[in-house]
Amino acid sequence: MSVIKKFSSLPHPKTSNLLFGNLLQLRDAKINFFMENRKTIGNIYRLRIPGKKIIVVTQPEWVKYILVDNNKNYTKSFAYDSIKVFLGNGLLTSEGEFWKRQRRMAQPAFHKEKLQLMFQNMRTQIQKGVDVLEKNADTNKSINLSEILYKITLDVVNSTLFYNEVENTTNEIYNLVSKGNEYIIDRVNNPIRLPNWIQTPHRKKEQAVLKAMDDVFFGVIDRRLNKKEQHEDLLSMLMDARDEETGKGMSKRQLRDEILTIFIAGHETTQIALSWTLYLLSQNKDKRDLLYAEIDEKLEGATPTSQNIRSLHYLKQVIDESMRCFPPAWIVGRKTIEKDVINGYEIPEETNVIMPIYVVHHDEQIWENPNHFLPERFSFEHYKDQHKYAYFPFGGGPRLCIGNNFAIQEMQIALIMILQKFRIEINDDFIPELDPLVTLRPKNAMFAKVYKRK
């Protein structure tokens, strides 16, 4: 019979500070800290952080155990409390029966048939971005590619799920999301906080961001309520949904939380994935040529449709490999409800479990040459024997990203429409540094030159 080892016997990184334990290392080094620990400690260890029990798990078998097999024993980890301050109690942060009901209501908006109906609309929104690229093509001018892709993904979500009800405030939304991101991470990194009633300048700024978010999203609800015509979008589905038992609809506050969550989760991640994909293609010209060849041969210049994109296998491999290299949501976390046993160690109740997706995606024992961009590793012959949780950019189990197929479809259409026409060359002075906040944005704006393909 195997003996269950004590929690305190789990290995941990050397602490750099007596008072804060590993907190400062975590805050300052983020991804590097986790990557280093993978090399020097292993794929299951604990962190020493005052007032919190935290373990880090990067072994696919155990990731699956936590997200899928024993998911009932897990809620979301402490970091989501900080996200909650901004997004409220929407799908990403809610729990239990309440979450289940909300997910059931939102799920139909993402069914395959619904995604097919959105296809044309996605193309129309993406075309606007392609037009901007066209205007700048062959001018030798450097354009801010991140900004153009951001506008595309914002328009796609706004148009397909909210019938353009979020008013055209690209810059405002971008600034709000950026600030929200920073404040959330600041809260995660500085868990020891003054009580809410003490108004520091920082807290005032945070509240101003919250107020601006409320103004945008309560505005969306009010505009829709005042409209006569019907729209069959996610917004209407959520507004019309009634509780099976009470017959009551959602409160305005709950609606605000749900639409804000889906709006934010739905555009920033996809923009990041598209940015990194175009970066990787510009750095790996042999792979880009293979993709050009596939798109040209299979589509012969035709516009992408829900039928013809299915034959573009290499494109799908490129997208998968790009999200392996740069997973837009680079980390997920859970917390034990009751005590559990992981890898022979007793894990007490209320232990936070951090699963840095990025580290699993770059584990040398799982992936050969993990720092190389090799889309072929996702071909059927290569990938069939891989562990299902060696690659999990969309999370897994019941809390799997609701927008995974939406995002893939959008990326397929966008990449086809861009690559059919252009060669995008990211400027040589772009440094691919990571800015691992809630998402994995590039630290620096991505500037590029655009050339028409002859």
Interacting residue ranges for ligand HEM, rule: CB under 6 A: 76, 91-92, 103, 157, 261-262, 265-266, 269-270, 273, 328-329, 332, 393-395, 399, 401-403, 406-407
Minimum separation from the CB atom of position 68 to ligand HEM (A): 11
Q: With b meaning 16 or more CB within 10 Å and e meaning fewer, what string describes 185-223?
A: bebbeeeeeeeeeeeeeeeeebeebbebbeebbbebbee
Minimum separation from the CB atom of position 105 to ligand HEM (A): 11
C-alpha dist (Å) from residue 405 to 69, 111, 316, 412? 23, 9, 12, 10
Cβ distance to ligand HEM smaller for residue 62 or 449: 62
- Can you spell out the DSSP letters for 318-354? HHHHHHHHS-SS--EEEEESS-EEETTEEE-TT-EEE
Cβ neighbourhood burial of 247 (10 Å; 0-12, 13-18, 19+): exposed
DSSP 3: P
Cβ distance to ligand HEM smaller for residue 262 or 309: 262
Minimum separation from the CB atom of position 401 to ligand HEM (A): 3
Cβ neighbourhood burial of 338 (10 Å; 0-12, 13-18, 19+): exposed
DSSP 53: E
Minimum separation from the CB atom of position 94 to ligand HEM (A): 8
Minimum separation from the CB atom of position 327 to ligand HEM (A): 6
For residue 342, how far is the Cα from the chain centroid?
A: 26
Cβ distance to ligand HEM smaller for residue 137 or 390: 390
Helix (H, G, I), strand (E, B) or coil at 362: coil
Cβ distance to ligand HEM smaller for residue 120 or 139: 120
Minimum separation from the CB atom of position 257 to ligand HEM (A): 11
Cβ distance to ligand HEM smaller for residue 354 or 366: 354
C-alpha dist (Å) from residue 452 to 128, 193, 425? 17, 53, 11
Using CB positions, name the residue nearest to ligand HEM.
403
Cβ distance to ligand HEM smaller for residue 148 or 407: 407
